[in-house]
Amino acid sequence: MTTESGKRVVIFIESNTTGTGRLFVRAARKVGFKAVLFAANPKLYPFAEEEAVPIIEIDTQDEQKIIAACAAIAGENVISGIVSTSDHYLVLAARLARRFGLPGPSVEAVMACRIKTLQYRALSDAGVPIPASVAAETVRDAVTAARTIRLPVVLKPEQGTGSVGVKLCQSVPQVAAHAHFLLAQHTNERGLPVPPAIIVQEFVEGPEYSIEAIGTKVIGITRKHLGSQPHFVETGHDYPAILPDKAAAAMVNATTMALGALDLRWGAAHVELRWASDGPRIIEVNPRLAGGFIPELIRVASGIDIITELMRCVIGQEPRTQPTAMQFAAIRFIIPRRSGRLESVTGVEEAAQSETVIAAEVYRPTGSEIRLHGDFRDRIGHIMGCGKDPGVVAQRVEIALSTIKVEIQ
C-alpha cells in the first residue's frame, strides 16, 4: 500500500497489536502527522484499516529492505519520525532514526535495556539497587546460579516482555525444569528468534510499582497488583500510587540513577521496581511506555497524555508533562480461571454502569479458544474507574469486576 504524497509521515516499525497501537497512530494524527505502519503480518493489526493507516507489508527482520522502503517514502513525503511501540523492534527503530537523522534514543542505551545481562551489569556498576542477577546458558548454570543466590529465585528470558516466561522457582528441581523449558524456546510469542540465555534473579519480597518517565522527567508512580505465584500476571494497576513522601522520593531517586546508568535520556521509560525491607530495588528498565493501559490511567487521572507527549518527542518537539488534573484511576483485568473455549462473558454492561467506572471492555469474542500462559495474554478484558478518592475508586472497580462472570467450556 502506498502513502499519499507530500505528507509529513511517522513510520511505525510494527506496533502493539491491541489498544495502545491504535492510540499511538491517533496520537500521530493529533500532532499533525500521518502514521504509516511497516508490518510483516498486516493481519495482526485490524485497527489499521479502521484508523485508515497505510500498511507496508515487509520483512521487518530485514533492515536493508526497511531502509529501502523508508527511502522510497522519503522520495514523496517528509519522514518526521521513526518509532516502534513493540519491545522486539525498539533497537531497530532507534537505529533507523539515527540513520535518517531523526530524533530518537541512544541505540546503545536501548540495546542495553533489551539485553538484560547488559542492563544488570550497567546498573550494578553504577550502584543502583537491584536484585542479584546471573545469566545462564545451560540448565547446570541456572542451578548453580540459583544455589549461589539462594532460593527462591525468579527465572526469566534474557530478552522478553509482558512477563512471558517469568516464573518463581522454589526448589532446585523447579529451577532445572523451567530453565530447560526456557532454553528450549527458539522463538518468542511473535515467532522471532530468541537468544539461548536466561536470567536467574533473586526474588524480592514486597509490593510492586512502576515509574513512567519521559526523557529525564518522572511522570508518576503506579501501584501494580499481581496474580498468584509462581507467575507474575499483572491483574490491575492504581495511579498514582499512594505512598509516604520518603518512599516515593527513594523510588524516584533509584529510577533517576538507573536511567543515568543506562544513558536513557530520550523518550519513554517504564521502570519496574519492588519495595523491599531495605528500600526500592529496580527489577528492570524498559525503554518504552508501559503496557496494561497505564498510559490511559495517567491520562484520566492527571491529564497528561503520555502517548501524545512521546509522539511529540518522536517528531522533535518538546513534550508537555505538566498535570492538569488531580484524580485517581484504577484498572482491574478480567482473567479466566482456566483454559478452554470462551462460552460467554456476562455482567459487563452492568459493570459499566457502576459509579466511578469509566470503561468496561472485553477483548476476546465468544467462541475464542482461551489458553492461560501465566502472562499478559491471560487478560481478556478490563474494568477502569476514576475519581477523587483512591480507596473508593479501587473498591468500586473491584466490586464491578466481581459482577462479571466468565464461562469457559
Give residue limits of the domains in the chain: 8-102, 107-127+204-326, 132-202, 330-409
- The mean pLDDT value for 299-317 works out to 95
- Looking at CATH, the fold of the domain delimited by 132-202 is given as Dna Ligase; domain 1 (3.30.1490)
Place of cell 528468534: 193
For 260-291, b/e burial (b = at least 16 CB within 10 A) is ebbebebbbbbbbbbbeeeebbbbbbbbbbbb
Please report which confidence band the pLDDT of residue 131 belongs to, taking 50, 70 and 90 as the band edges.
very high
- Please answer whether residues 186 and 206 qualify as being in contact, where contact means their C-beta atoms are separated by less than 8 angstroms: no
Please report which confidence band the pLDDT of residue 6 belongs to, taking 50, 70 and 90 as the band edges.
low
Please report which confidence band the pLDDT of residue 2 belongs to, taking 50, 70 and 90 as the band edges.
very low
pLDDT digits (tens, 9 = 90+) for 387-402: 999 999 999 999 999 9
Q: Is pLDDT at 9 greater than 70 in this prediction? A: yes
- The mean pLDDT value for 329-356 works out to 94
pLDDT digits (tens, 9 = 90+) for 352-380: 999 999 999 998 899 999 999 888 889 99
Alpha carbon of residue 312 to chain centroid: 19
Please report which confidence band the pLDDT of residue 188 belongs to, taking 50, 70 and 90 as the band edges.
confident
Phi-psi region of 393 (alpha: psi -120 to 50; beta: other; left: phi over 0): alpha
CATH ID of 107-127+204-326, from 3.30.470.20, 3.90.105.10, 1.10.645.10, 1.10.3210.10: 3.30.470.20
pLDDT at position 267 = 94
Please report which confidence band the pLDDT of residue 76 belongs to, taking 50, 70 and 90 as the band edges.
confident
pLDDT digits (tens, 9 = 90+) for 218-268: 999 999 999 999 999 999 999 999 999 999 999 999 999 999 999 999 999
Q: Which residue has the higher pLDDT, 51 or 4?
A: 51
Please report which confidence band the pLDDT of residue 4 belongs to, taking 50, 70 and 90 as the band edges.
low
pLDDT at position 16 = 81
Grid cell, residue 117, equals 545481562
Crossing angle of the two packed helices 107-114 and 116-125, in degrees rounded to 10: 100
Name residues whose C-beta falls within 8 Å of residue 255's C-beta, 6 or more positions apart in sequence.
211, 213, 218, 269, 271, 273, 282
Question: Do 8-102 and 107-127+204-326 agree at the fold level?
Answer: no
First to last CA, the chain: 41
Domain 330-409 classification at class level = alpha beta
pLDDT at position 186 = 87
- Looking at CATH, the fold of the domain delimited by 8-102 is given as Rossmann fold (3.40.50)
